Amino acid sequence: SLPLGIIAGPCQMESRDHALEMAAALKEISEKVGIGLVFKTSFDKANRTSISGKRGVGLKDAMPVFAEIRERYGLPVLTDVHEAGQCAPVAEVVDILQIPAFLCRQTDLLIAAARTGAVVNVKKGQFLAPWDMANVLTKVTESGNPNVLLTERGASFGYNTLVTDMRGLPIMAATGAPVIFDATHSVQQPGGKGTASGGQREFVPVLARAAVAIGIAGVFIETHDDPDNAPSDGPNMVPLGEMEALLTLLKRFDEVAKANPVALD
């Protein structure tokens, strides 16, 4: 297997300047650590807990920024799409189209994403079993696109809580698709703050090292230079200043893991 990669960036695109700064900082960190980086940020947070939650700069303003990040830093870019019609235009400026967990069974969205030819990263719904993702994967591959990533981001566990079932990582890997572990949203507490989701940032490194020890293609970690003042997912974003140490450690676990792949049978 290939060495661990990282998908990282701020939860939402707050402004062109902030996005560029974050991309530059992450590029520097990833090169220092020696780990492949995909830059992630969202142009629209389409399913905020509350109607008054900030949603990001929007598709129109985000598109030139995605293009600029790709060109300026040579970084592959990932962003999420919410309706079928967004897939084609967004695919012109990013490398990976991400299907949000709530939408992972929306057939039209999956097909539209597949048809762009871009890599499609599907997040596993909080309401699905790991083995259910085989059907989701087929919706994309049967639409002619073999480049699919599957992302674990926690399963519903009672109310306002998620749990990560680590068995899901090798189960999803058995489909043949590279598996990503989203350490940021796995520690989310959906709706846990009344009109916003809570989160447990302190468990991001805990779950990330566990997942990496099992052997995964990549880890997804949202990060911010000032998470406590970020407009969304602040409680579960890792401060930018901690990323280098975290990635360095994950790389060490990955080396042991990749030299000793899990065999389910």
Site for a second copy, residues 4 to 33, rule: CB under 8 A: none
Sequence-distant (≥ 6) Cβ neighbours of residue 103 within 8 angstroms: 82, 109
Q: Does 207 bind a second copy (CB under 8 A)?
A: yes
Give φ, ψ of 93 to 5 degrees. Answer: -115, -5
Ordered DSSP codes for 145-185: ---EEEEE--EE-SSS-EE--TTHHHHHHTTTS-EEEETTG
CA dist list (Å): 250 to 160, 187, 188, 224: 28, 18, 21, 19
Closest alpha carbon to 83 in 50, 108, 62: 108
Residues in the chain: 265
Options 30-38, 69-77, 226-234, 254-262: segment touching a second copy (CB under 8 A): 254-262
Exposed e or buried b for every residue in 38-49, given b needs 16+ CB within 10 A? bbbbbbbbbebb
Site for a second copy, residues 57 to 116, rule: CB under 8 A: 82-84, 102-103, 105-108, 111
Site for a second copy, residues 32 to 61, rule: CB under 8 A: 46-51, 55
Exactly one of 190, 218, 227, 235 binds a second copy (CB under 8 A); which one?
A: 190
Q: How far is the CB of 120 from a second copy (least distance, A)?
A: 14
Site for a second copy, residues 146 to 175, rule: CB under 8 A: 155-161, 163-167, 169-170
Q: Does 257 bind a second copy (CB under 8 A)?
A: yes
Q: How far is the CB of 55 from a second copy (least distance, A)?
A: 7
Exactly one of 92, 176, 206, 226 binds a second copy (CB under 8 A); which one?
A: 206
CA dist list (Å): 236 to 64, 136, 156, 198, 209: 28, 27, 17, 8, 16
CA dist list (Å): 173 to 123, 224, 253: 14, 29, 18
Q: Which residue lies nearer to a second copy by CB, 15 or 50?
A: 50
Residues that bind a second copy (CB under 8 A): 46-51, 55, 82-84, 102-103, 105-108, 111, 125-129, 131-132, 135, 138-139, 142-143, 155-161, 163-167, 169-170, 187, 190-191, 195, 200, 202-203, 205-207, 209-214, 249, 252-253, 256-257, 260, 262, 264-265
